[in-house]
Structure 1
């Protein structure tokens, strides 16, 4: 798997990541969602450089010009609910894309430090020959993204697969390497070194879904 860690080079992306992590700033849910959306836009822009382009003639009010435009059929798939702001950022740039949504969450067993990934909802177009973008802001253990990929397999084989994440842990990145196709590509804003005993990224930023949309009821 090819990995593009955007934090390896300094850019305005650093500001958005810092605000996501800052406990005083992340209390503003609107700003938290917008920062994830902006990071999605940056990830999408960088990923767009890897697409296939074709020449098209564009007519202006004064003349015609040849433009190089992407020809990939893109499908954006987000893991609910935390993936929604990231999805919106990507959709701002890939506005002609088809869309898919999946719910993949941690179901904790008797031991609170153990869990399984449960998929309950899935809506997806045909993926055959298309460019699939899987969006999930937090790449902790990597199990949710792998479960998502497996759940999508009945919808066809995509031409290529791109993973979009805001913050990940090294263990999660390694898990994707071992469980996704070798030609998949990861685009990520920052990679942290540690997972704690409950599988959360440290230093990370907390629960992205709760910070974006409010705390969920446990059942």
Structure 2
């Protein structure tokens, strides 16, 4: 797996990461969603550099222009519900992309800190031969991303898989490396070192879904 860690270099992305983590700022849900969306736009721009392009000619009011256009058929898949702002950011740039939505959530098992990943909903076009971008803002243990990959196998084999994430843990990055195709590319804004006993990223930012859309009842 190729990993692009954007926070390893100086760029405007640090401003958006800082605001996402800051408790005093993240209480503004609209701003929180917009900052994730902005990071999605930056990730989309970086991903675009690796795509296939073809020649495109068009008529301006003055002459024929010979340019380029993206040749890849792109499908953006977001993991509900936290992935929606990130999905929007990617879609702002890849506005011709097809869209996939999937649910993947933690279901508590025997003890407070044990859980399994449950996938209950999937709406997707064919992925056969297309460029798939998996969008999930938090890459903690990596189990959700692997569960999503397994569920998507019935939709066809993509030509290429990109993973777009905002904050991840080293453990989660290493986990998906073992389960995704070797030519998968991970685009991630920031990588933190630790997970706590409940499998949440530290320092992280908290629950991205709750911060973006409000708290939920557990079931």
Normalising by the residue count of structure 2, what TM-score does the alignment of the two structures yield? 0.99
- Whether 1:7 and 2:7 are equivalent positions in the alignment is yes
Aligned residue for 1:120, secondary structure, equals coil
Instruction: Name the counterpart of 1:50.
Output: 50
Counterpart Cα distance in 2 of 1:49 and 1:200? 32
Task: Give the aligned partner of residue 60 of structure 2.
Answer: 60
Q: How many residues in Structure 1 have an aligned counterpart in Structure 2?
A: 219
Distance in 2 separating the partners of 1:123 and 1:172: 25
Structure 1 equivalent of residue 80 of structure 2 = 80
**What's the counterpart of residue 179 of structure 1?**
179
1:97 maps onto 2:132 in alignment: no
CA separation in 1, counterparts of 2:20 and 2:101?
A: 24
Q: Which residue of 1 aligns with 2:16?
A: 16
Partner of 2:160: 160
Residue 132 (structure 1) aligns with: 132
Deviation per CA, 1:39-62, whole angstroms, max 9, x where unpaired?
000000001000001111011011
Partner Cα separation in structure 1 for residue 79 and residue 191 of structure 2: 19
After TM superposition, give the deviation of residue 110 of structure 1 in Å.
Answer: 2.3
Query: Does the residue aligned with 2:23 lie in a helix, a strand or coil?
Result: coil
- CA shift, 1:218, in A, is 1.1
**Structure 1 segments of 4 or more deviating over 2 A?**
none
Q: Distance in 2 between matches of 1:180 and 1:127?
A: 16
Q: 1:79 offset after TM fit, Å?
A: 0.1
Instruction: Find the residue that maps to 1:25 and give its secondary structure.
Output: helix
**In structure 1, distance between residues paired with 2:109 and 2:10:** 41
SS at match of 2:125: coil
Unaligned runs of 5+ in 2: none
Question: What is aligned with 1:34?
Answer: 34
Q: Give 1:218's aligned residue.
A: 218
Q: CA deviation at 1:197?
A: 0.5
The DSSP-based 3-state class of the residue aligned with 2:154 is helix
Say which SS state the counterpart of residue 24 (structure 1) adopts. Answer: helix
Output one character per residue of 1:100-128: Cα deviation in whole Å (capped at 9) or x when no partner: 00000000112111100000000010000
